Amino acid sequence: MNRFAPGTTNANQKALSYLELGKLSFCKKDYRNAQAYYDSTTTSLSNDYPDYTEILARRNSLTKLVKNLRVIDTEDSLQRLASLSPQDLQRRVDEMVEAESEARKKELEEKQSNQIFQLNTQKANQFNNSDGANWYFYNPQAISFGFNEFAKKFGERKLEDDWRRSSKQNDAVNNDQLEEIASDTTQAEDKTGTFSADKRKAEILKGIPSGKEAIDKSVAKIIEAYYNVGMIYREQLNDLEASSKTFEELLSRYPKNKYELQCYYQLYRSYLTLGKTAQSDHYKNIILNEHGDTEYAEIIRNPNYAYEKANTKTKLELFYEETYRKYLNGEYLAVIQRRGEADAQFNKNILTPKFDLLKTLSIGRTQPLPTFEASLNDIIRNYGDDPVKDQAQDILDAIHNGSAKGPVKTDAPESLANDSIKKILNPYNYIPDTTHYVIIIFQNIGGAIDGTKLKTKLSNFNTKNYATKSLEIQDVLLDHRNKMIIVKNFNDRTDALEYNSNLFDNDEVYGNTSTDNYQEYVISVNNYSELVRQKKTDLYEDFFRNFYK
């Protein structure tokens, strides 16, 4: 039974050939070639093919790997160029542009040759589809008659090409087609001419880092790419040897980089799995002796640490929810007391700022205004990077602007405080089995992303990879600065997360755009309405990280 739909067999057979080549390259750990073959596979393979999702996931992993490897190669090359003298730099750039030009010309010649071959094949197919029994050269009488007629009209002719100009109209590739191909080639070759070469040289020179700040940025890109490569090898391609080599190379090239501790831990894990006890113990001892107060050390000392921490987090959240309920019930003294209990039970934790805000609002219900103001100022001073700081400032500004007069127990301040607490306490509800969207948020004007082009690329991505899902794409203004593109509808959390994983940092959609220039989330339909109403992403960022990542 043919498992392909009519009309897709040839494309799928071609794709399967690429797939086999991709698998061979992957087994040889030739990941760059494997990426190219898997990319060609997904381009030709219909998305209803069995295992398509797994093939796409591997293509995406390889694409991210190659993308980061290219960052390392590019930044290393640019730094080498930056170290040259002006004369050597100019000569090297000239050589690079000339090499690129030659490569483009060769590519164009190959393209022209392929076009001619395809046209010839097309003509041959046209003949094969006709009645071959009536063909001239299958009929001896026609041959004899034709030879005599030719001799009468043209006489003896030397065997050579183009013996009669008009005959070229019947060539497999006729003159007009050849001229069209040549024209395409000429136009493309013009792009490699002097003007383009000068422009390319300027582009290269502009990209070369100059000065300490630019070099530092280039180094930061390399460090980030190295760490990404190591994690992709480990977590997505399951190549622990390559992962370990990458992390060790990162530590060797850039000691004390920002991922130093993470590299030690990943090396400890990988060598432990590989059964290389000496190497594993080496990195374990570094973590325990030099970073003994970190979570990584705690995980090594206590294998159940992650499980226990997850349970502790659940208990913390339950404790916080109960504290919030007591605040809503007017049990302000209990809220103040539970703030101290939170420290005793959970030490410093991610909800400490929210506990402090609840305590401060309870002080505002029970104590004089100056005490309330002092507590608000404490929040502003202690939590400069947390959203509670903004909410405390809003309340303080309202008090100073005259919204609150006399004791803080009046109706107006109570309403103000309740609005503020609703803003800072996470308003989102986790409902995994409802309809979900995938949203992309980016700067609307002057940013790195063109919304119109992004919608087009998303549409192409969906047509190519998710044609059977009938996904919809919409765009809205989130606020005066940010735009949001919504992809819908997904059946549930799992469905949306699978799509989100394949889309995130996908080169076909985002190109070379850094992930710093956009936010991509999975969101349920009920939480989407709340996000649009609030027009703030910081609270949803926390919610997304806790429930979807």
Q: Is residue 511 part of a domain?
A: yes
**Beta carbons of 44 and 18 less than 8 angstroms apart:** yes
* Residue of 102, 99, 96, 98 lying closest to 77 (CA atoms): 96
Residues 314-332: tens digit of each pLDDT: 788 889 888 988 887 889 8
Position 36 in a domain: yes
Identify whether residues 480 and 383 lie together within a single domain: no
Please state, in angstroms and rounded to a whole number, the distance separating the CA atoms of residues 496 and 439.
10
- Please, which pLDDT band fits residue 128 given cuts at 50, 70 and 90? low
Q: How many domains are contained in the chain?
A: 4
Six-digit token pair at 248?
Answer: 């060790």
Q: Does residue 238 fall inside a structural domain?
A: yes
DSSP state of 477: E
328 and 390 in a common domain: yes
Give the C-alpha separation, 470 to 488, whole Å: 9
Return phi, psi of residue 241, to 5°.
-65, -50
- Mean pLDDT, the chain, rounded, equals 80
CA-based nearest residue to 518, from 464, 456, 457, 450: 450
Task: Identify the band that residue 210 occupies on the pLDDT scale cut at 50, 70 and 90.
Answer: confident
In this prediction, residues 280-298 reach a mean pLDDT of 94
Q: Is residue 508 a part of any domain in this protein?
A: yes
Are residues 211 and 67 part of one domain?
Answer: yes
Asked whether residue 161 is assigned to any structural domain, the reply reads: no
Residues with Cβ within 8 Å of residue 445, at least 6 apart in sequence: 481
CB 45, CB 52: distance < 8 Å: yes
Please indicate, yes or no, if residue 135 is contained in any of the structural domains. no
66 and 183 inside one domain: yes
Tell me the per-residue pLDDT of 237-276, one tens digit each, with 9 for 90 and over.
Answer: 999 999 999 999 999 999 999 999 999 999 999 999 999 9
| 274: Cβ contacts below 8 Å, ≥ 6 apart | 240, 241, 244
**Does residue 86 share a domain with residue 28?**
no
Contact 501, 53 (CB under 8 A): no
Whether residues 219 and 329 share a domain: the answer is no
Are 420 and 521 members of one domain? no
pLDDT, tens digit, for every residue of 499-538?
Answer: 998 898 888 898 878 787 899 999 999 899 888 887 878 7
Alpha-carbon distances, residue 73 vs 77, 260, 328, 406 (angstroms): 6, 21, 57, 66
From CA 266, how far away is CA 262, in angstroms rounded?
A: 6
Same-domain check for residues 59 and 42:
no
Identity of residue 45 = L
Name the pLDDT band for 350 (thresholds 50, 70, 90).
Answer: confident
How many whole angstroms separate alpha carbon 518 and alpha carbon 73?
25
CA distance 546 to 430: 10
Asked if 214 and 241 sit in the same domain, the reply is yes
Residue ending a domain, among 424, 445, 463, is 424
Nearest residue to 97 via CA among 174, 246, 199, 14: 199
Cβ-count burial of 55 within 10 angstroms (0-12 exposed, 13-18 middle, 19+ buried)? Answer: buried
Domain region containing 13 = 1-50
Query: For 5, which DSSP code?
Result: P
* 471 neighbors 462 (Cβ within 8 angstroms): yes
Confidence of residue 396 (pLDDT cuts 50, 70, 90): confident
Q: How far apart are CA 463 and CA 461, in angstroms?
A: 6
Q: Which has more confidence, 2 or 371? A: 371
Out of 371, 389, 424, pick the residue that ends a domain: 424
Cβ atoms of residues 138 and 146 within 8 Å: no
Assigned domain for 420 exists: yes
Does 200 map to a domain? yes
Q: Which of 40, 15, 11, 47 is nearest to 498 (CA)?
A: 47
Torsion of CA 89, 93, 95, 99, to 10 degrees: 160
In tens, the pLDDT along 29-75 reads: 999 999 999 999 988 888 778 888 888 889 988 998 999 999 999 99
Residue in 18, 11, 14 with CA at minimum distance from that of residue 34: 18
Q: Are residues 512 and 374 in the same domain?
A: no
In whole angstroms, what is the distance from residue 275 CA to residue 265 CA?
A: 15
Q: How far, in Å, are 96, 202, 507 from residue 515 at the CA level?
A: 30, 27, 11
Alpha-carbon span 44 to 56, nearest angstrom: 12
- On whether both 362 and 233 belong to a single domain, the answer is no
Left, alpha or beta for 348 (phi > 0: left; psi -120 to 50: alpha)? beta
Tokens representing 265 are 């831990």
Structure pTM? 0.58
Residue 419 makes CB contacts below 8 A (sequence gap 6+) with: none
Q: What is the pLDDT of residues 481-497, one digit of tens each?
A: 889 999 999 999 999 99
What is the C-alpha separation between 332 and 397, in angstroms, rounded?
Answer: 23
Indicate the helix (H) or strand (E) that contains 509.
helix 507-510
Alpha helices in 28-139 (DSSP H): 31-44, 52-82, 86-128
State the amino acid at position 236 in one-letter form.
Q
pLDDT beyond 60 at 173: no
Q: Is 495 exposed, middle or buried (0-12, 13-18, 19+ CB in 10 A)?
A: middle
Q: What is the per-residue burial (b if ≥16 Cβ within 10 Å, else e) of 444-473?
A: beeeebebeebbebbeebbeebbeeeebee
The number of residues making up the chain comes to: 549
Same domain flag for 84 and 198 = yes
pLDDT at 438 over 70: yes
Query: What distance in Å separates the CA atoms of residue 98 and residue 27, rounded to the nearest whole number?
Result: 36
